[in-house]
Amino acid sequence: MAVITYREALNQALVEEMERDPDVFLMGEEVALYNGAYKVSKGLLDRFGEKRVVDTPITELGFAGVGIGAAMVGLRPVIEFMTFNFSILALDQVFNSAAKVHYMSGGQFKCPIVFRGPSGAALQLSAQHSQALESTYAHFPGLKLCTPATPADAKGLLKSAIRDDDPVVVMEGELLYALKGEVPDAEDHLVPLGVAEVKQEGRDISIITHGKMVHVALQAAARLEKDGIQAEVLDLRSLRPLDMDAVLGSVRKTNRAVYVEEGWPFVGIGAQIVGLIQEEAFDELDAPVLRVTQADVPMPYSKGLEKLAKPSIERVVAACNRALYRD
C-alpha cells in the first residue's frame, strides 16, 4: 500500500471520482486557481477545466444553493467549505433544502451532493474558527455525516459520499491534512458509510470516538497499556448513519466505556451515544459511561487556555481510570 497524506488521499478520491463520472464537479472558494485553501484540490483545474472546478465568491449560502439545484437536476456537486465554521452562513440551504428535498418532493428529486471541508480546532484560531459542529449537522434527518480520521478512511469515505444519492457532509480534521498513512492501492477503495472500525483491540475498556480524536484516543490507549490496561479504540467514522451495533459490541466486550469528542458537551454526540448505550446495554455496564469533550466555552485564543479547553490524552487517561475505579 502507498503511504500518502490525508490531503493527498482526498485529492485522489476527487480525481478518481471525477474521472469515473463526468457529472461530478467541485465548487467553492479558492478551489481552482489557488488549488484549495488546504491544497486538497491541487491540480484539478488543469486536469478537468473551469467548468468542473469552479471558484466562487465568498457566498456560502449562494454556492451551496447552486450546488443543491445542480444535484436536483442530475449532477453530483462537491461543495468545499473553506472551513465548516463558514458553513454556518449556508445552513438554511443545507438543512432546509438539501436535507429535505427528497422527502418533501415525495421522492421525485434526489440530492446527491457532498459538503466537505476542514472542521474543528487548529492552533490559536480563536472562538469563531475552532468549532466542531458535528452534533449540529447530525441533528437533521436527511443528511449523512462522516468524519474520517486516517488517509485511508478519508479517501474511501469521500468516494462513497460522492457516489451516494443523498446529501453527505464530510468533516475533515483541520490538523490532519499532513498526516501520513497507508492507503490501499486499489482504485475502487471505498469505505462504506455507517460502518465503524476498531482501530485497536482491547478487553478492559472501550474508548469510542470519531475524527481527529481517534489519534488522541490511540495515544491514551498506549499510555494505559503501560499500566496493564488494554483499551479498545472504536472509530465511529460515520455519525449518520451510526454503527450502533459496533458500539454495543465493544461495550459488551469490555463492560466500560469513555466517549471522546472534540465538540462541546451540551447535547453533543457523546450525549446521544451514552443515551443509546444505557437503553441497550445498561445491565452489561460495570461503571457509568463517561465523556471527554471540549470545555463548554468558546475556544480561547490564548495558547495555554486553548490547550486546557481541548480534549487531551491526559483527560482521556483520567476518565478511563475513573471508569475502571482506579482513581
- Closest among 135, 215, 221, 120 to 173, alpha carbons compared: 120
Q: What are phi and psi of 252, to 5 degrees?
A: -70, -20
Sequence-distant (6+) residues with CB within 8 A of 117 are 28, 80, 81, 82, 83, 84, 87, 170, 171, 172
CB 52 within 8 A of CB 81: no
| Element at 260 (helix H, strand E) | strand 257-260
Distance CA 71, CA 64 (A): 11
Q: Which of 29, 60, 172, 306 is the catalytic position?
A: 60
Compute CA distances 54 → 11, 60, 233, whole Å.
16, 13, 39
Helix (H, G, I), strand (E, B) or coil at 243: coil
CB 43 within 8 A of CB 98: no
**Cell numbers at 6, concatenated:** 490525508
Distance CA 231, CA 163 (A): 35
In one-letter notation, the amino acid at residue 184 is: P
- Closest among 205, 133, 121, 127 to 169, alpha carbons compared: 133
Q: Which of 30, 129, 225, 284 is the catalytic position?
A: 129
Distance CA 83, CA 132 (A): 10
> Has 129 been annotated as catalytic?
yes
> Has 232 been annotated as catalytic?
no
| Element at 225 (helix H, strand E) | helix 213-226
Distance CA 226, CA 245 (A): 30
Q: What is the dihedral of CA 71, 77, 80, 84, to 10 degrees?
A: 30
Active site residues: 60, 129
